[in-house]
Amino acid sequence: MNTEALIPVVGVITDIRIDTPDIKTFRVVTPDGKKAFDHKPGQCAMLSIPGVGEAMFSITSSPTNTEYMEFSIKKCGCVTEWLHAAEVGQQITIRGPYGNPFPVDDAFAGKNMLFIAGGVGLAPLRSVINYVRHYRDRYGKVDIVYGSRSKDDLLDYDEILHEWMTDDGIDVHLTIDREQEGWDGHVGFVPNYVKELGFDTDKVAVLCGPPIMIKFTLAGLQELGFDKTQVYTTLELRMKCGIGKCGRCNVGSKYVCKDGPVFRCDELDELPDEY
Amino acid sequence: MRKCSTANLDALLRTIAENASLYLPVDGTDGRAHFTKWEDGVKMSDALNTVRSAKDFFFPQTENLMDFKVEGKTIEIIDTREECEDFVIFGVRACDVRSFDILDRVFLVDPVDTYYKNRREHGIIVSMACTRPSETCFCRTFGIDAANPGGDIVCYKEEDAWYFDALTEKGQALLSKLESLTEECDTAAVDAQKDLIRERMDKLPLADLTADAFGGDKLNTYFNAPEWKSLSQSCLGCGTCTFVCPTCQCYDIKDFKTNKGVQRFRCWDSCMYSDFTKMAHGNNRTSQLERFRQRFMHKLVYFPANNEGIFGCVGCGRCLSRCPISMNIVKVMKELGGNA
Ligand SMILES: Cc1cc2nc3c(=O)[nH]c(=O)nc-3n(C[C@H](O)[C@H](O)[C@H](O)COP(=O)(O)OP(=O)(O)OC[C@H]3O[C@@H](n4cnc5c(N)ncnc54)[C@H](O)[C@@H]3O)c2cc1C
Ligand code: SF4
Ligand code: SF4
Ligand code: FES
């Protein structure tokens, strides 16, 4: 019988990194040590633990990593709690890739890039950022604004500190919500920080984070003169099938799992306001 | 066109059932019609439509998708799919026949749902023209002709004989197996029946209902319409309308632990349920108004937007007779579209 999209393959967790008190990053390969499938930046995969459930996660590693995939997962329910309790060597199931990727090879090509993330929203952006770093000469200047509740809630701080911050032509702007001992960086919410930094509009902006952050940051960017056609984001809706059939992620005439999760912000205006 | 005398009908059904499982509407102990497996002595119902739609044959209420064997940290995935056996659904009404086209547009587009496709390929549909359409019927609103119900074989029932015409290769193959029980005939009786059906359709209370006010480009016309409030006010969110609806196809995927391992199955779900879109950081449809609106906007606006204008309702009338608070798509269309 033909292959069935709903039937996953087995994956093995080969590394678990503790990022923050409630986010861990899991490295996944097939039992024979390979990457389960190819993907593009912004695409997602369905991970499951039989008997517990299945959930959708952004593939946070870059497609240029041909050895494995990584997922940064925030603990918030059945599947995610179970994963947080798992050990290296644990098998899970994986299917994908799902969704529309970021247009890294067309609309983004040759552009200055501004990445703006809040909390675990860095997960989908990390894939694009590392893709852009890998093909550095295909893109212009890169700015990254990343904020979280506290210093301890910043995802993948080591990579940010030792790789992104040391790259030429990449400026990283970190912020945390409240003052904290041992933090001499910026304090304040992401949308305000973006306005303070006052970026030129000669770039493409990519936004990801909680819905409220996306809303205010988009408004801030528009105040700076950005047009919605220059701003991309990803949506997060409840998903089950990942292939546009179960109806769960339907908003207007779009299925976020296959028509998204990546949208250009002007495309969002064509959707009813329920995402 | 071929005809089978009413006296020979049992023999004809028996012949069909020799080669494939045969299902047809039969009156149940509840006095209502349900698709039931034919065996000797089973009589076909005269009722117009079954309580549950014929979608169950291709998209059952629950079905196993795969099994898992879990041992320690290891997982084995067991593909439990099997080639389905041939089956015949006899007496499917025009509205339900059209619903398969709508389901196809969901399940057979890339990536194809192999569970659905498997059943679809093995199912033969014998439709039945509706000589006694009911006051809740409005298939014509969606361009469906109850006098030409479609399917693989179309059937017209008269007092003394049943008339059959094959519309597909599958139908032709089945009809050719029934040659000894049928005889070639002209279309006079069927033509007369078609005229009668159309005459009766003209007189139905919903004969003038049109869907012209709806379509893929009507998002902004209706999404924020004030009428949703009063329309949805009494909705219980029970999901009955979605379960009896031949075109509703939302599903859930769940795991079930058995003593041998884990079964992953899917089951019907409903956009009318409050937890349908609940997720970690909130719910994008928190009120019953939003969920109610989703069901009707999907059928009248979103589905046509993605499917060349075809609506996601076939006018079968099931939601009209089954909703506990007597809310239904006709009321929604009249209230919003203004053709009350
Ligand atoms: C496109 C996409 C990309 C995503 N990418 C990522 C990513 O990269 N990283 C990430 O961490 N997440 C990501 N998510 C979110 C992730 O899918 C959800 O966090 C995940 O589905 C939660 O699954 P769960 O089984 O752990 O939670 P569930 O058990 O489904 O819980 C979900 C909600 O229900 C509540 N809940 C849980 N149990 C109960 C109970 N018994 N009774 C009542 N309420 C309960 C929880 O509090 C929570 O609010 C993404 C989602 C989408 C759609
Ligand atoms: S419209 Fe009627 S049948 Fe449908 S969920 Fe509401 S109360 Fe139930
Ligand atoms: S919405 Fe109502 S009338 Fe339309 S197909 Fe569904 S059950 Fe039948
Ligand atoms: S997750 Fe099933 S339709 Fe999008």
Q: Reply yes or no: is the peptide bond before residue A97 cis, omega within 30 of 0.
A: yes
The pLDDT-based confidence of B203 (bands split at 50, 70, 90) is very high
Residue A5, pLDDT score = 95
For A:49-68, CB contacts with B below 8 A are: 50-54
The 10s digit of each residue's pLDDT in A95-139 is 999 999 999 999 999 999 999 999 889 999 999 999 999 999 999
Average pLDDT over every residue of A42-69: 96
Contact B281 A210 (CB under 8 A): yes
Average pLDDT over every residue of B86-115: 96
**Interface size, chain A vs chain B, as Cβ–Cβ contacts under 8 Å:** 126
- Three-state DSSP class for B247? coil
For chain A, which residues make up each domain, given as ranges? 9-98, 112-234
**Which of A8-22, A181-195, B267-281, B284-298 comes out lowest in average pLDDT?**
B267-281
Q: What is the Cα–Cα distance from B44 to B46, expressed in whole angstroms?
A: 7
Q: Which residue has the higher pLDDT, B47 or B97?
A: B97
DSSP H/E element including B198: helix B188-203
Residue A158, pLDDT score = 83
**Which of A205-209, A253-257, B334-338 comes out lowest in average pLDDT?**
B334-338
The 10s digit of each residue's pLDDT in B251-280 is 999 999 988 899 999 999 989 888 888 876
A85 and chain B: CB distance < 8 Å anywhere?
A: no
The pLDDT-based confidence of A228 (bands split at 50, 70, 90) is very high
For chain B, which residues make up each domain, given as ranges? 2-51+81-202, 219-337
Question: Do A9-98 and A112-234 have matching folds?
Answer: no
A245 and chain B: CB distance < 8 Å anywhere?
A: yes
Binding site membership of B317 for ligand 3 (Cβ less than 6 Å): yes
Residue B222, pLDDT score = 92
The model carries a pTM of 0.93
Residue A167, pLDDT score = 87
DSSP H/E element including B68: strand B62-71
Q: Which residues of A50-63 are buried (b: 16+ CB within 10 A; e: fewer)?
A: bbbbbbbbbbbbbb
Distance of CA B264 to the CA centre of its chain: 25
Q: A112-234: what fold?
A: Rossmann fold (3.40.50)
Name the residue with the closest Cα to ligand 3, atom 2: B319
Q: Which CATH number fits domain A9-98: 3.90.1170.50, 3.10.200.10, 2.40.30.10, 3.40.50.2000?
A: 2.40.30.10
Mean pLDDT of chain B: 93
Which is the closest atom of ligand 3 to the Cα of B317? 3
Side-chain half-sphere exposure of A41, counting CA atoms within 13 A: 25
For B:9-48, CB contacts with A below 8 A are: none
Residue B339, pLDDT score = 58
Average pLDDT over every residue of B114-130: 96
Phi, then psi, of A122 in degrees rounded to 5:
-70, -25
What is the SS3 string spanning chain A? CCCCCCCCEEEEEEEEEEEECCEEEEEEECCCCCCCCCCCCCCEEEEEECCCEEEEEECCCCCCCCCCEEEEEECCCHHHHHHHHCCCCCEEEEEEEECECCCCCCCCCCCEEEEEEEHHHHHHHHHHHHHHHHCHHHCCCEEEEEEECCHHHCCCHHHHHHHHCCCCCEEEEEEECCCCCCCCCEECCHHHHHHHHCCCCCEEEEEECCHHHHHHHHHHHHHCCCCHHHEEEECCCCCCCCCCCCCCCEECCEEHHHHCEEEEHHHHCCCCCCC
Edge-first strand listing for the sheet containing B87-92: B33-37, B21-27, B87-92, B123-128, B153-157, B161-166, B2-5, B183-184
A182 and chain B: CB distance < 8 Å anywhere?
A: no
Residue A155, pLDDT score = 86
Contact B277 A248 (CB under 8 A): yes
> What is the share, in percent, of chain B residues with pLDDT greater than 90?
84
